[in-house]
Structure 1
Amino acid sequence: MAMRLETSGIVRVWAGWTVGRAVLLILVLGALKVPHVDVTSDVKVIYQGWAEVLRTGTYPMDDVTWQYPPLAGLVMLLPLWLPGSYFTAFLTLLVLCDAAALHLLVRAERRHRPGGRPTAAWLWVVAVPLVGPTVYCRFDLVVTAVAIAATLALVARPRLAGVLAGLGAILKVWPVLVLIGAAPRDRAARRSWLACAATCAAVCFAVAVTTHGAFSFLGFQGSRGVEIESLGALPFYFASLAGLHWGRAQMHYGSLEFLGRDVRVIGYAMIGLTVLAFGFLLLWRLRHRVWTAATTADAALTAVLLFTVTSRVISPQYLIWLLGAAAVALTVPDTRIRPVAWMLAVAAPLTFLEFPLWFGELVKRSVLGTSLISARDLLLVAAALVACVRLWRAGPEDAAVVATARTATAQQPPVPTARPTATVR
């Protein structure tokens, strides 16, 4: 009976995924129009244009909108090698990565709590489509699927996790953050970091000797402004409501950003917040003593969330990263940041409302646009703070539990006939 219930639950998960993704594809293909913005142009025009350049053996060295590590070029090229149009092949690739991510989450939940409710899988099934058609019109699902696999492998297969994190880093940098959850001063953790470094070095060497301009993207980030959907943009929205027009919004580096003298201060402040965030994570790692599967997943989500919130850019597709990391955390029954996952689920439809539905209101800095982006960004800030507090407090509590268990074991009388058992670390 338990097996039947478990199987029926998984069938419902996949049925829900099929329905939700069908609706998503209907929106992307234009059978049901999303007003104001055509989100497919990035694939049909920009990605395909990059792919045509990449097939010649060179990266888009003169295009400042190319801001991705070298392996992202492979994602752009793959649809050219698949049958059908570039757009159709790209959608096929994204759907396969989406399904692979769900498969990994379902398998992880069956391992951690057999017969239980597939909470993580349902978060992925329901929340991802709420981000809107942008989900299938950017390549972040590919990166997120790799990051999910890396996080899930970190405890049992650290070398594989390191290789996957390295591949993710050469795709879009942020997946390397999942290794934050690897225990310091642990042999397995060293194996994961070494595997990550070796993978990055090998891929970078391969693209450097076989292509041209693989690292040109490094010079396209220095003079960025503050993207109009980021946390740093909120002061400019609030100032506009008060009648003060700080900064000017214009297309810059492929996205709408606030530019101007006043913006530089905010940009430096966001960089400072990123430094503080990494300082917090470093201090937490030095202080923390008890490492479990929950520690690994919770730390990965917290790191990605802090990186996202403090960035000068928060694009809609960044929610896919956060939902993937949150789903991994929910696969572990004793995760301590479960509320963060539900806060991120609420942020998903808010992201759809601010882009693409009412993106024009953001550009105009209207009350509606300001309200939407403020609600989404402040919710992300609240989620980051909750994650930090719960991650920090988990250490002493878990240490006390382990110490109590060890004391109780030490006080038990020895059993002469018992064979010695290996210590599990």
Structure 2
Amino acid sequence: METKGTGRSPAWLLTAWGITRAPLLLFVFRVYAFPGPDVTSDVSVIYRGWYEVLRQGTFPLDDVTWQYPPAAALAILSPGALPFLSYAHAFFVLACLADAVVLALLLRAGRGSGRSRRGAWVWVAGVPLLGPTVYARYDVMVTAVAVAALLAGVRRPRVMGALTALGALLKVWPALLLVGAVRRRAWMSAAVTAAGVATLFAVSMPGAFAFLTFQRERGTEVESLGALVFHVARHFGWDGQVLLNYGSIEFLGPYVDRVSTAALALTGASFGWLLLWRLRARRLTAHVLADAALTAVLLFTVTSRVVSPQYLVWLIGLAAVCLSHRASRMGVPALLVVLASFVTVLEFPLGFSHVVLSDWYGITLLALRNGLLIAATVTAARRLWRSTVPPGAAAPYPPQATRTEGTPVPS
């Protein structure tokens, strides 16, 4: 992916970033209309409504669509830092700034022995494939925190732990970044930061953890892996419905609860596999921290009851961090994630009406996108296991070693 010219200078990367991000800004600013549903309404209507409640010092307790950890309030309130812009326009500018921060982090990470700018290229090429949705959700901000945490990684475990905790309190999934961490300082820092920030929100703003109840009541969203069962079943007489429920388009009707339970069981099995891997892994080299994080988040994503388009932003960011290490084994999973991102924009917003109607075009798009994610997950898990678990290994903890690129890190 790197050429002779791009290996020496970031000019091509910066130029490509500017060329690909300008259309995204034009779309979210409504200079040009992107085909399909208006993806910016979440910011101008839902986020703005939450903003008005949050600025009063309380969480939106009466809104079941608020399903985020307490630090998400920081992302929703952040447009207030740009009072000279409307709420929506300020949000889009900050989302673009978060995108630029990720690129800057990846450019810095790509320097030095054993490093590569392939990761920066994955970010530059992958993000615009999702269309304007990427700037119309706060996930790009969370991804910036997660990327910073992973890149702090081996050398600054306390920083990694603190950033991971902050990310988890923004949107839960960054907690999975710790799955490959072997230094206790990272875990301790994460625990202390999470406890401190959570306590601060709990005592200062009512309803900080009401999201746990709202999240528990969610069903099977129409874009998830389990939803394919009902998309096909509608053609054979299944009499359920597709309705807006808890802030997303979900299936409601016979057997939906069973599929949702099966999804939760698969998520539990995935965590069990990760625990087994963690106990048996011995070759925990520097790049494995990122490889394990990508694998864990892929497992979480494909087994989730909800697979929203913006989830792909997480995967692109983690794949980019992986490929910043020349030794990473995640090249194929990263490519599959990028391909899945392109299919995602065809599915939402371009073809979302077909998905909601469960016609064969919509089913095909959804099956292809989810199939690519499953392939990425299986490939990542297989490569992570083979590269870190020696045949017959049974030791529960990795040995002491140095922290240089390509060698194990100390526990």
The two structures have a TM-score, normalised by structure 2, of 0.92
- Mean alpha-carbon deviation: is it higher for 287-296 or for 359-368? 287-296
Equivalent residue, structure 1, for 2:205: 211
CA contact (8 A) 1:231 1:377 kept: yes
1:237: how far off? 1.4
User: 1:396–1:218: structure 2 CA closer, same or farther, 3 Å change rule?
Assistant: closer
**Alpha-carbon distance, 1:424 to partner:** 8.0
Match of 2:222 among 225, 228, 239: 228
Q: Deviations over 1:366-393 (max 9, x none)?
A: 0100000010011101111111111111
For 1:154, the equivalent position in structure 2 comes to 153
Structure 1 residues 110 and 238, CA gap change in structure 2 (3 angstroms): same
| Structure 1 position 7, deviation (Å) | 7.2
Is 1:331 aligned to 2:332, yes or no?
A: no
Q: Which residue of 268, 281, 294 corresponds with 1:288?
A: 281
Q: Deviations along 1:338-358, whole A, 9 cap, x unmatched?
A: 100000000011100110001
> What are the within-5 Å matches in structure 2 for residues 263-282 of structure 1?
263-282=256-275
Partner of 2:100: 99
**Superposed displacement of residue 125, structure 1:** 0.4
Partner letter of residue 364 of structure 2? Answer: S
Aligned twin of 2:252? 259
Residue type at the aligned position of 1:319? L
The SS at the match of 1:132 is helix
Contact 1:25 1:133 in 2 (8 A): yes
Pairwise CA distance, 1:327: 0.4
Which residue number in structure 2 is paired with residue 127 of structure 1?
126
Q: Does 1:197 align with 2:191?
A: yes
What secondary structure sits across from 1:110 in the alignment?
coil
Tell whether 2:351 aligns with 1:358. Answer: yes
Give the SS at the match of 1:261. Answer: coil
User: d(CA) in 2 for partners of 1:278 and 1:296?
Assistant: 16
Q: What's the counterpart of residue 62 of structure 2?
A: 62
Instruction: Compute the displacement of 1:398 (Å).
Output: 10
8 Å CA contact 2:114, 2:327 repeated in 1 = no
**Number of residues of Structure 1 aligned to a counterpart in Structure 2:** 393
Report the 3-state secondary structure (helix = DSSP H, G, I; strand = E; otherwise coil) of the residue aligned with 1:371: helix
What pairs up with 1:228-247 in 2 under 5 angstroms? 228-241=222-235, 243-247=236-240
Inter-partner Cα distance in structure 2 for 1:268 and 1:9: 50
Aligned to 1:410: none
Change in 2 beyond 3 A, CA 1:78/1:424: closer
Moved more, 221-230 or 24-33: 24-33
1:75 maps to 75
Letter of the structure 1 residue corresponding to residue 230 of structure 2: F
- Matched residue of 2:255: which SS? helix
For residues 29-85 of structure 1, give each alpha carbon's deviation from its aligned partner in whole angstroms, at most 9, with x where no partner exists: 222222230011000011011000001000000000000011111111111231311
Write the letter of the residue equivalent to 1:300.
A
> How far apart, in 2, do the equivalents of 1:169 and 1:324 lie?
15
Give the letter aligned to residue 227 of structure 1. Answer: E
Q: Following superposition of structure 1 onto structure 2, how do residues 7-18 of structure 1 map, counting pairs within 5 Å?
A: 9-18=9-18
Tell me which of 297, 301, 307 is aligned to 2:300. Answer: 307
Partner in structure 2 of residue 420 of structure 1? none
Tell me which moved more, 97-106 or 25-34.
Answer: 25-34
Pairing 1:248–2:241 present: yes
Kindly provide the amino acid, as one letter, of the partner of residue 367 in structure 2.
S
Aligned equivalent of 1:342, options 335, 342, 347:
335
Give the 3-state SS of the residue equivalent to 1:250 in structure 2.
strand
CA distance in 1 between counterparts of 2:195 and 2:162 reads 11
Q: Which residue of 1 aligns with 2:177?
A: 178
Give 1:212 deviation, angstroms: 1.3
Amino acid at match of 2:103: L
Hey, what does 1:405 align to over in structure 2?
A: none
Q: Does 1:297 align with 2:290?
A: yes
Q: In structure 2, do the counterparts of structure 1 residues 107 and 339 end up closer, same or farther at CA, with 3 Å as the change threshold?
A: same
Structure 1: runs of 5 or more not aligned? 184-188, 401-422
CA distance in 2, matches of 1:396, 1:209: 45
User: What secondary structure sits across from 1:146 in the alignment?
Assistant: helix
Q: Give yes or no for contact 2:179–2:296 (8 Å, CA) kept in 1.
A: yes
Would the aligned equivalents of 2:337 and 2:373 in 1 still touch at CA under 8 Å?
yes
* Structure 2: distance between partners of 1:310 and 1:112: 37
Percent identity between matched residues is 51
The one-letter code of the counterpart of 2:18 is T
SS of 2:110 mapped into structure 1: helix
1:391 aligned partner:
384
Amino acid at match of 2:189: A
- CA displacement, residues 266-285 of structure 1 (integer Å, 9 cap, x when unaligned): 00000000001000000001
Superposition deviation, residue 248 in structure 1: 1.4
TM-score, length-scaled by structure 1? 0.89
> Do the aligned residues in 2 keep the contact of 1:246 with 1:262 (CA within 8 Å)?
no
Cα separation, 2, equivalents of 1:424 and 1:286: 16
